Structure formats: C-alpha cells, structure tokens
Amino acid sequence: MKKPLILQICIPFCVKQCAFCAFPYCTYDPRTVNAYAKALLTEIDAWEGEWDDHEVRAISIEGGSPALLGADSLFHVLQKIRRTFHCAEDVTIRLQTMPGDYSRALMEKMRDAGVNHWIIGLETASRNEHELLARPYKYEAITMADMAIRTFHPRALGFHLLLGIPGQTRESLESTLSRCLYYAPEHIIAQPLMIPECSAMAEQIRTEALQPMPEDTLQELIDFTRTFLCERGFQPSTKCDYVKSGFEDRCQLLMLQGCERLGLGYHSTSWMDGVMWRTGHSLQEYLEHPGDFETLAADMIRPDTTDPAALKELFDPLHILLWDHSPVIHPPAGHFL
Ligand code: SF4
C-alpha cells in the first residue's frame, strides 16, 4: 500500500502587502512570475520517479495570491503533477484565492484541472474592516463572487475569515458570516487575527493609532461564531475550521496527523522522515536552482518527535487549530492513515 503524501505548492506573489502580513511575499511582476512558473515545472520534473511508493492524497495551492500565477500556468502545474506523482483518484486539490482574482478563464481552468476545494480569502465583508486590513483588492470585488461561484462550482466552497479585527463587532461579524452563508459554503475558516511585530498594523498599535481587540472581546466573537455556525449545520473540525458533514478539509487534517508533505515552490514547507525544511533562501536562489534540493533546503530542523508538546508547536505554532485535548496529532512513528 502506498504511503500518503501532501503536496504544498507556494505561489508567493502579492500585488501589495496586507497590514497584518509577515509573510515574505514577493512583489508581483509579470516577468518574474513567468520565470517562477517555469521554475516550478522544472522542480516538479526533478522529482520524477522519486515518489513511486507514495500516493498524493491532497494538494494545497497557497500564497501569497496563487491566482497571480495565471490560469494557464496553474493548469500546467497541476497537469504536470498528475503526470509526475501518483495522485489518488479522489485527491483533494485545495486552492485559496482572493475576491478580485476572478476571471472566467481562471475559474474554467481550475475546474478543468480538478480543483475541488476552493477557499475565498474574504477575511471580512465589512468595508471599514477591509480597509483597515489593507487587503490587496477593491472592496467592490466581493460582488464578483456570484459569477465566479456559478462558473466554477467546486465540490467544496470555503471562506477564510478573520476574528478580532480592531473595531469588529458582533453585528459586523454576523453580517460577514451571513454574507458567506448566502453562497451555501461547505467550509468556513474563522481564524483569530495575528498581528506580527513586523507588520504595518503592529506599528499602528505601537503609535496608538489603533487599539487591538481585548482578549475577552475576541473570545466572545469566537464563541458567537461557533454558536452561529453550529446552529446552521456546521461542525467544528479544528478550533477555527467549521465544516458541513463529509467536507472536512483533508489537507488540514492530514497535515495535523503528521502526514509526509512535499513543498514545491519558494518558501514552501516539507516534512519528511522527522525533518522539516523550507525551500529556498531567497526567490532569486529558487529561480536559479529549481529542483536542486541540496542548495534550496533552508531552515532545516529535526524536532523531538517523541514529545507531543514539540509536535504541537510544530504543527500548530500559533495554537489556533488544536484543542488541548485534541487527538489529532500523533507522534510520527511510521506513517499515518
Ligand atoms: S495576501 Fe497573504 S501573503 Fe499576500 S500580503 Fe496579504 S497576508 Fe500577506
């Protein structure tokens, strides 16, 4: 029996930086993005024949803003993956895009490439909160979701939302949740806003231009979200994922179970034989050496896999996914599932 494998594909480009972002995103420019698409194909080629004893159960296409790679390039990357790796017949292919990324070409190509779990990185449907977060799309783009969903119609539709945005209220959150539910999604991710030290929002807080949300108010919003969604047929699958029965996020659950993971693309993360590493010390290095694992492996660590606390730190470093009593993470002795 083949061992399960997750592929994580990182597309690290954004048109501008969100106020709460600490990700080393790369500024969008068409020439660099084209070079990146070619590098990704070269990297996938380099793995030919190396994973014959594995079956890809889940593919996660993450950003940055994955749609910036372009519909054709994303399609070719997924086609090459299917030719290079053994993918399970029911492989989950999860893609996160932002409102404003929509085009008929992108939606049709994603549908044809087999993307079946589509997450819209909405964060909030409130104009004020959207502007505070400085999201890299126009607020009005939210309305384009109608057309996009009708064109794409993935097996599972999800929305990524943030809780604890300064100034967010129970009413504004309820309005955001209701707006999402209008589209009958199968998955809602409601994640507490993290404000890293180096972000623009942290600077606003330091200069007292902005007040962070007090812990107890955030907790009220988390409790409200849970009640609101559970009353409408969702079940919590992690601390911040709510799903309709049968639509659990396979990528997320396999990851938390310690399933081996191969990262593709700059700044993707791999987890193999008890070792975790990132790909590429810089975008330039990645573009010059795609597929050269020895050059690109960065931040390599071998955590103590007998220590559940160390594993929890590794797989849920922000403590936003797992409950303390969670049975999900097991020490990675052998393979999972
Ligand atoms: S979309 Fe994500 S990666 Fe890009 S700037 Fe915003 S938070 Fe950072």
Cβ 23 under 6 angstroms from ligand 1:
yes
Peptide bond between residue 70 and the one before it cis (omega within 30 degrees of 0): no
Domains in the chain, start-ordered, CATH in brackets? 3-256 (3.20.20.70)
Cβ 168 under 6 angstroms from ligand 1:
no
**Sheet strand arrangement including 297-301:** 235-236, 241-243, 187-192, 156-163, 117-123, 87-97, 54-63, 3-11, 260-264, 269-272, 275-279, 297-301
- Residue 137, phi-psi category: left (phi > 0), alpha (psi -120 to 50), beta (remainder): beta
Return d(Cα 184, Cα 179) in angstroms, integer.
Answer: 10
* Atom 6, ligand 1: residue with shortest CA distance: 18
Q: For the CA atoms of 290, 291, 295, 298, what is the dihedral angle to 10 degrees?
A: 90
* Atom 8, ligand 1: residue with shortest CA distance: 21
Contact between 117 and 154 under an 8 Å Cβ cutoff? The reply is yes
For ligand 1, mutation pick of 16, 21, 27, 199 (most atoms within 8 Å of CB): 21
Atom of ligand 1 nearest to the CA of 16: 5
- Ligand 1 centre distance from Cα of residue 13 (Å): 8
Cβ 163 under 6 angstroms from ligand 1:
no
Q: What is the pLDDT of residues 20-75, one digit of tens each?
A: 988 777 888 999 999 999 999 999 999 999 999 999 999 999 988 999 999 999 99
Atom of ligand 1 nearest to the CA of 14: 4
Task: List Cβ neighbours of 154 (8 Å cut-off, separation of 6 or more).
Answer: 110, 111, 115, 116, 117, 118
- This prediction has a pTM of 0.92
Map residue 23 onto helix, strand or coil: coil
Structure tokens at 62: 């993450």
Return d(Cα 269, Cα 9) in angstroms, integer.
Answer: 9
- Return the pLDDT at 336: 36
Atom of ligand 1 nearest to the CA of 63: 3
Cβ 229 under 6 angstroms from ligand 1:
no
Low-confidence stretches of the chain (pLDDT < 70) are 327, 329-337
- Ligand 1 centre distance from Cα of residue 128 (Å): 18
Q: How many residues does the chain have?
A: 337
- Ligand 1 centre distance from Cα of residue 327 (Å): 31
Contact between 101 and 67 under an 8 Å Cβ cutoff? The reply is yes
For ligand 1, mutation pick of 10, 14, 69, 124 (most atoms within 8 Å of CB): 14
Residue 261 forms beta bridges with which residues?
Answer: 6, 271
Contact between 64 and 56 under an 8 Å Cβ cutoff? The reply is no
Q: Please, what is the Cα angle at 23 between 17 and 25, to 5 degrees?
A: 60
- Ligand 1 centre distance from Cα of residue 121 (Å): 10
**H or E element, residue 120:** strand 117-123
- What DSSP assignment string belongs to 39-97? HHHHHHHHTTTTTTTEEEEEEEEEES-GGGG-HHHHHHHHHHHHHHS-EEEEEEEEEEE
- Ligand 1 centre distance from Cα of residue 230 (Å): 29
Contact between 4 and 272 under an 8 Å Cβ cutoff? The reply is no
Atom of ligand 1 nearest to the CA of 20: 7
Map residue 126 onto helix, strand or coil: coil
- Return the pLDDT at 46: 95
Cβ 238 under 6 angstroms from ligand 1:
no
DSSP 203: H
Q: What is the pLDDT of residues 312-334, one digit of tens each?
A: 787 887 788 887 777 676 654 44
